Amino acid sequence: MKSVLITGAAGNLGGLLAEHLKTTEINLNLLIHNKDVIKDLKNRNNIKIFKADLSKKETFDSALKNIDVIVHFAGVLFKNNPEKFLPVTNTIYFRNLLEKAIEHKVNRIILISFPHVEAKRLSKIHQQINLMENNIRSCTNPTRRRKIAFCRK
């Protein structure tokens, strides 16, 4: 049976995916930070809930045990000054998750990203997105000779 970790499982999209998958034969590990998941996702045989902080790698080790796929929704939305937090949440926090995923031999990561786009800050945000893409492209695992690459349509 496949095992999937959903980050941001208490959020809108992460919660909807968890809700959709709850009746399947997929084992779900739901990663939350401050907010809890909806009641309907609790006390199910195929769902485990983990509280973690993506800024602290050691907090999500247990959630990654025996995981096949990560669907990464976690992030910050609707906060002022996205140019200040996007480099942290979209680069450093994702890199933490990526490094731990490699360590735990996760087969696939699906990154869902929807950074703030505001006209007056658009060029600065594009610079940060390019930085994030370059950082993700540079992640490698020399022991398994697997290169993790960011793909764009």
pLDDT digits (tens, 9 = 90+) for 23-61: 999 999 999 999 999 999 999 999 999 999 999 999 999
Q: What's the confidence (pLDDT) of residue 77?
A: 67
Residue 146 bridge partners (DSSP): 141
CATH, domain range 3-147: 3.40.50.720
Among 44-48, 72-76, 142-146, the minimum mean pLDDT is found in 142-146
Quick one: pLDDT band at residue 78, thresholds 50, 70, 90? low
Average of pLDDT values for 94-105?
94
Helix (H) and strand (E) counts for the chain? 4, 7
Q: What's the confidence (pLDDT) of residue 141?
A: 43
The pLDDT of residue 83 is above 90: no
Taking the chain, what is the end-to-end CA distance rounded to the nearest angstrom? 31
User: What token pair was written down for 116?
Assistant: 């703030």
Number of other residues whose CB lies within 10 A of the CB of residue 111: 17
